[in-house]
Amino acid sequence: MDYLKGLNVIILSLLLILTGCFGMLSDDEEDSVEAESTDDTTTVTATLTAQDIADAMILASNSPPKISVKAFDFTDDDDDGYPVITKNSWAFTGQYSCVDELDMLDEDGNNIGETLEEQRESIDEALGEDRYRHLANLVEVGDCILYFDFLSVDPDGDAMTKGIDTDFDGIIDVPITPNFGVTMVSVDNSTVKKIFNGLSDAPCSQIDVAFIAIDEHGASTAEFMHFIGYGSCELNDDDDEDDNNLDFFTFSAADGPGADGAAIVTMDSGYDLIWSDITIMASVDGSPTVSVVQCAEGEYENCWSSSDSETDYWNVGEAILIDTSCTSVCTVTITITDDEGVIFDTVMVDVE
């Protein structure tokens, strides 16, 4: 690669000499060279200026930025000697955790801040002078925070633009200012997915993003990063090994606007749940809990319907509308279970 780069520089230097950029053109000539190609049907004239060639020389000798993210081995073994996460080429570069209302409070119960500057000050105060973490963007309830340690440099000393691409479209979604250090990035919880672990899904979750760096001359590089959900792979020693996995599911509820007795329930964290494997239960003002069935086409009373009814799964960030028999102000308790009655989560909401 260095040999080819050197060869490009030599060739472009010769072009500069031939086009008079080193003073060989007369005063009457433009600082450019024209190349004309003619055949029986077309005539094409291209003008190559000294600046064009100078820019080309810079690009030919320019080195892309370098980035390196620390990787960790989170692989563990259960009692049978089989790894919870099968070893593979996707090394985890850190962990993530999703925040709720309590996580937005400091030790004294005060909100950590509504702006990025306030949240950065709260983090600095909590860590003290001996430790430092860079918070890249604003954190809101329901977001998941990625924690990682990285290094970056441009070998030519060029200015860099770098940051996290959350949806792999090649565009930086979360800019990162420092060139190194422990960093916290807040992403939407819809990026959470369950790990594909060889031939089956593991009881773990992960978030995948891309780290992109671009220098001022357009040279770029990218590195994929994989984050594992904090505590999402823990297995207990009891016979029921799925209980720890249930802790990863969280749901929230709100009053359904414009509909009497309706509640909106959203999956805030977890992984895809098959609708046929889910049972939704509701209790109004302490009445016996009853099962709520999925609404048939054209029906909207005493049933539930999804905002994304075209899929077979309940995804993170997806909301369902649950209609109850409440005709005034009521407190509705909603319980989501699997097909065996194991509870994923229970939420309460006042509806009217």
Superfamily of domain 249-351: Immunoglobulins (2.60.40.10)
Q: Please tell me the least confidently modeled range out of 139-148, 183-192, 212-221, 251-260.
A: 251-260
- How far apart are alpha carbons 206 and 195 in whole angstroms? 6
Where b means 16+ CB within 10 Å and e means fewer, 74-107 reads beeeeeeeeebbeeeeebbbbbbebbeeeebeee
What is the chain's mean pLDDT, rounded?
79
**Contact between 283 and 325 (Cβ < 8 Å):** no
Mean pLDDT for the stretch of residues 33-46? 53
The span from the CA of 256 to the CA of 349, in Å, is: 10
In this prediction, residue 173 carries a pLDDT of 96
Burial letters for 258-283: b for 16+ Cβ neighbours within 10 Å, e otherwise?
Answer: ebebbbbbbbbbbbbbeeeebbbbbb
Q: What is the domain partition of the chain in residue ranges?
A: 2-61, 66-229, 249-351
Compute the average pLDDT of residues 267-291: 85
Q: Report in angstroms the alpha-carbon separations of 326 from 81, 303, 323.
A: 52, 13, 8
Q: How far apart are the first and last CA of the chain?
A: 69
Top mean-pLDDT range of 10-19, 49-58, 155-164, 285-294: 155-164
Q: At 213, which amino acid appears?
A: A
* Predicted TM-score (pTM) above 0.85: no
Q: Measured between alpha carbons, how far is residue 337 from residues 247, 334, 347 in Å?
A: 13, 10, 12
pLDDT tens digits along 288-332: 888 888 888 777 778 888 877 557 788 888 888 888 878 788 899
